[in-house]
């Protein structure tokens, strides 16, 4: 059985005072039955990792450069993230694809860099509203999946996060049927590419306005192994109920 994962992406939010939220999550989930991950801004990764040193909560980065080092002013390598205590890194988030014109080839290179540094790559894929309305969702997802995921992907080094772009930060959430269709499609493609042992073991997260009020409904969908949560992960008050909902889904399954 795939172990569930509740991951939080703080995006460009958080200063030193907000490390109190990390401490609160550690206190609230000392005996977590699912994997926990927070990806704060790079400035907080080292301090957050120290807080979580003896806890199940792990810390990750929000992006990395494809190269291990070099003349790349302002960028962070995967090795640098690992060096300060990160265990994972998000790559290919829709905001990186849109705001920085990252291609799926770029995402694959970053995921490979994460693997080389011993980090788990959380590879994000998702369609825009116009693509869904044109009934192109599965075409888009299939292409992004094929081009963004490295050939050495495994359950240990890769997680796939489906985040429909039209549901990120909008308050809109895909319906259970929409989520099911895409997650089942992703699972079939992973099995077809990597074989049943690896393809069935890689975890699939849903992301897109996941909140305490809708988490249980989302986690009840087959092939949803957890969530990549944005705004609701910024405080223990909001993220903790989502974690508890995921733990409840484990108990039911």
Instruction: Give the helix/strand (H/E) hosting 161.
Output: strand 158-162
Instruction: Give the helix/strand (H/E) hosting 194.
Output: helix 176-194
Distance CA 158, CA 189 (A): 15
Whose CA is closest to 244, among 30, 34, 11?
A: 34
DSSP state for residue 165 in the 8-state scheme: G
Distance CA 208, CA 219 (A): 13
Distance CA 169, CA 211 (A): 11
Catalytic residue among 95, 102, 131, 163: 163
Catalytic residue among 29, 93, 115, 183: 93
Chain centroid offset of residue 7 CA: 6
115 as an active site residue: the answer is no
163 as an active site residue: the answer is yes
- Residues marked active site are found at 93, 163
């Amino acid at each position: 059985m795939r172990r569930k994962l509740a991951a939080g992406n703080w995006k460009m939010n958080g200063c030193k005072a907000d490390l109190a939220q990390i401490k609160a999550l550690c206190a609230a989930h000392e005996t977590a039955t699912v994997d926990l991950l927070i990806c704060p801004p790079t400035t907080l990764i080292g301090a957050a990792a120290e807080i979580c040193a003896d806890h199940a909560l792990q810390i990750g980065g929000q992006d990395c450069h494809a190269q291990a080092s070099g003349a790349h002013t302002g960028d962070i390598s995967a090795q640098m993230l690992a060096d300060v205590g990160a265990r994972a890194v998000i790559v290919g988030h829709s905001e990186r694809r849109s705001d920085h014109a990252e291609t799926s080839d770029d995402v694959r290179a970053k995921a490979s860099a994460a693997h080389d540094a011993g980090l788990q790559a959380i590879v994000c894929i998702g369609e825009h509203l116009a693509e869904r309305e044109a009934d192109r969702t599965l075409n888009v997802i299939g292409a992004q999946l094929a081009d963004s995921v490295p050939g050495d992907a495994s359950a240990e080094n890769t997680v796939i996060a489906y985040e429909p772009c039209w549901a990120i930060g909008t308050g809109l959430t895909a319906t259970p049927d929409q989520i099911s269709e895409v997650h089942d499609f992703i699972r079939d493609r992973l099995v077809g590419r990597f074989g049943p042992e690896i393809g069935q073991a890689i975890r699939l997260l849903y992301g897109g306005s996941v909140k305490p009020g809708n988490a249980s409904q989302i986690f009840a969908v087959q092939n949803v192994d957890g969530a990549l949560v944005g705004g609701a992960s910024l405080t223990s008050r909001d993220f903790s109920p989502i974690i508890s909902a995921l733990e409840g889904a484990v108990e039911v399954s």
